[in-house]
Structure formats: structure tokens, C-alpha cells
Amino acid sequence: MTPGNSNDSNRRFKPLTVPRRTVMGPGPSSANPAVLRAMSLPVIGYLHPAYFDVLDEVETMLKEVFKTEQRAFAVAGAGSAGMEAGLQSILERGDKVIICSYGYFCERQVLMCERLGAEVVELRSEWGKAFDPQQLSDALRQHPDTKLVVSIHAETSAGTLHPIKEMSDIAHAAGALFMTDTVTSLAGCEVDFDGWDLDFAYSGSQKCLAAPPGISPVAISERALDHIRARETLPSSWYLDLSLIADYWGPEHKHHHTNPVNMVYGLREALALTLNEGLETRWLRHERVAAALRAGLDALGLESPVEESARLNQLTVVSLPKGVDDVKLRGQLFDMYGIEVGRGLGQFAGKVIRIGLMGESCVPANVFNLLNALERLLPEHGYETGKGVGTGAAAAKLASEPAPLY
């Protein structure tokens, strides 16, 4: 028989295997085993009444996590699908949109809006610093016809957290809708959809929720849904039309696309774990474990290019000392210690590593493993460190400010 013929009785494929690693990059984080078990449950039809019960439960849980009494559901696809669904649904060709740009993923929003044919006003600000809301206020006075303001709450490329409530208030005072990215922030720090008067927020399953990537939880205001339904033209994407997706998740469960049943199982279990731990407790865990990491890095003399007041707990950006090779160090961490950290993007490319502590990966043991590895590896790059200095500082920080058990 011809080699590779599917009828060749001697042809066999081995079961899939992948290496086990400590995932400490900017995402995805490790998935909780309970989530993976839930995803292995039997497939049922996406129009089956039993599945509708799952959808209703997930929507209720998402409302609690987003802190909203309005609509919350999930878009089939990664966080970028949630991003594009918001832009495709809210904006029409020629609409003016202001994008607050302070990182790599803000640039992605710009690219999407340009493809939509929107008129983009990009407000650039310095990476590593919180966005100044006054810059948005000034821009809206110059562009009073702005339809939508777009931002990112937690920008992982720059490791920064931004003043979303102030920005939302400014946008609404000017008559614009406000949309934000919560891919890294949801379940890892405070997100208050109703309290911050947001119109659309999208997230991802793969970070602080501790599920695999592939589904995008979102929340949307009634104001934004009304705006979408009153458009002069239909959204250019049928698949990502938020009004149609909302109708499928709504009480009547109107037919739309084939929903990713087992991904929704996983999201349901991830939300249950989050709410059982307690939102505030989970936020505190991320805060305390990140503080221990920073204490250890400070003791090693490793600095961050991010101003202290704007630093994310979920993602720590670390400047590489002179002579330390980014690619080599990350390769050594991966090959010798089984630790995966992220590379720098955009303005930080080649200059930093990015350390994620999100969801399942946000535990003290990961901090100690990484600091121990850095203490051993950095001298090979010509940067001397004291043995046990970083791990000792992290331990002392956790002794004085313990992280909630997980």
C-alpha cells in the first residue's frame, strides 16, 4: 500500500502527550483539574432544554462575577472574539471611535476598528504608566461626535492597571458609549460593571478564571443593546452580532450558531470555583502572592519599568539587567526548571520578561520556584545574586501578609 494511506492496517497513532510545565506567562494560566473534568462530560445538543439550564446558570454566575444586573453571557472564541464582537456590533462604517492606547493589545483594537472602516482617534500614552483621564476629556472636547470610547483595564503587554471608572464617566458625559477589555482583570481584581457604568466588557476564560482558552465571557448594558438594535445597518459580522448572541442566551434561547457545549461546561465550573472561593478572597490572593513575588525580585535587585501605583497583581513586568539575554533566560527557565514566562512585546520587546500569577497559577509555590531558578541562572549571565535572598524576602512578605489558601 502507499505509505500514509488511511487504509494501511499497520498505521497507528500514539495518544497525544504534552509536557507538564509551570505556566507563569501572560496567559493562558493553568486550568483547574475540576474544570478539565467538567469539560469531559457528555456532549448534549446546544438546543436541548438541559443545556439551556446550564446557560441560565452560567449567565447568573457571570452577572455575579462582572457585578451587573444587566446582561452577561459568553462569545464563542478567545478574548479577541469578545473584543471584535463589541467593535463590530457597536460601530458602523464612518463612526468615530476614540481608543486609549498604552500597550500592544490597545494597538489590536486600532487595527480592528480600521478594518471596520471606523474613524479612529488614537490617544497614545506612555507604556508603564496609568492612562491620564484628562487626555480623554480633552480629546472628547475636540471630537464631540465620538460614538464609542475603547480602553483596556489591565494591559498585560505593559503590566499596567488603568482608571476605568473615571474614563467611563468622562465618555458618558460626552454622550459616547464606553467599552473595555477585562481579559486579565476579571476575577483577579475588582471589576464593577454596573458601579462603573460600563457599556460593554469582554474577558477570557484562560487567565484568572483558570479555564482553557477558547471562550470569551462578556457583559453588556441595556443601553448598548438598544444602540445595537437601532443601528441603521446590520453589523458586518453575523457570527459576532451581540444582539443575536444575547437572544440565544436569553429566555427564549433563539437559535444562532452551534454553541461550544463543553467549553461552556468548563466555564461554568470555573465560575463555580471562583464564587465558592469568594470574589474578594480571590482578589486578595492575587494581591498577596504578587506582593511576595515583588519582594523577592526587589531583593534580587531586579526592577520594573512600570510605575508602582499602576502595577498589575496578575502580571509583573521585570526589566532585564544589562547582559542578560531574554531568549536564553526564558529558554533555561523552560528547559531546566519547567517554568514558562512571557517575553516582552512592542516597546518592551527584548528588554523584559513578564511573569503571570493568575488563577490556578497564582500560588506561593510558583513564586518560590521561579525565584530559586532566577537565583541560580542569573549569575550565568553575569548578574550576581545571593543564594536564598529572593526566596527569603518572599517568605518574609508572606509571613507578614499571608495569602488566602487555595
- Burial class (CB within 10 angstroms; exposed 0-12, middle 13-18, buried 19+) of 308: exposed
Residues 256-313 pLDDT 10s? 999 999 999 999 999 999 999 999 999 999 999 999 999 999 999 999 999 999 999 9
| pLDDT level of residue 7 (50, 70, 90 thresholds) | low
Helix, strand, coil share of the chain (percent; to 5):
45, 15, 45
Residues 36-75 pLDDT 10s? 999 999 999 999 999 999 999 999 999 999 999 999 999 9
Cell numbers of 187, please? 476575577
Predicted TM-score (pTM) of this structure:
0.95
With 50 as the cut, is the pLDDT of residue 222 above it?
yes
> For residue 346, which amino acid is it?
G
With 60 as the cut, is the pLDDT of residue 2 above it?
no
Q: How far apart are CA 104 and CA 99, in angstroms?
A: 12
Angstrom CA distances, 28 to 25, 86, 92, 212, 216, stand at: 7, 22, 32, 7, 13
Pairing of strands 71-76, 342-343: unpaired
Query: Which residue, among 62, 74, 38, has the nearest Cα to 257 in the 3D structure?
Result: 74
Residues 330-341 pLDDT 10s? 999 999 999 999
Q: Are 140 and 176 in contact (CB under 8 A)?
A: yes
Q: Which domains, ranges and CATH numbers included, belong to the chain? A: 33-276 (3.40.640.10), 279-398 (3.90.1150.10)
Q: Residue 43 has what DSSP assignment?
A: P
At a CB cut-off of 8 Å and minimum separation 6, what does 288 contact? Answer: 398, 401, 402, 403, 404
Q: What is the pLDDT, as a whole number, of residue 1?
A: 44
Query: Which residue, among 236, 259, 245, has the nearest Cα to 202 in the 3D structure?
Result: 245
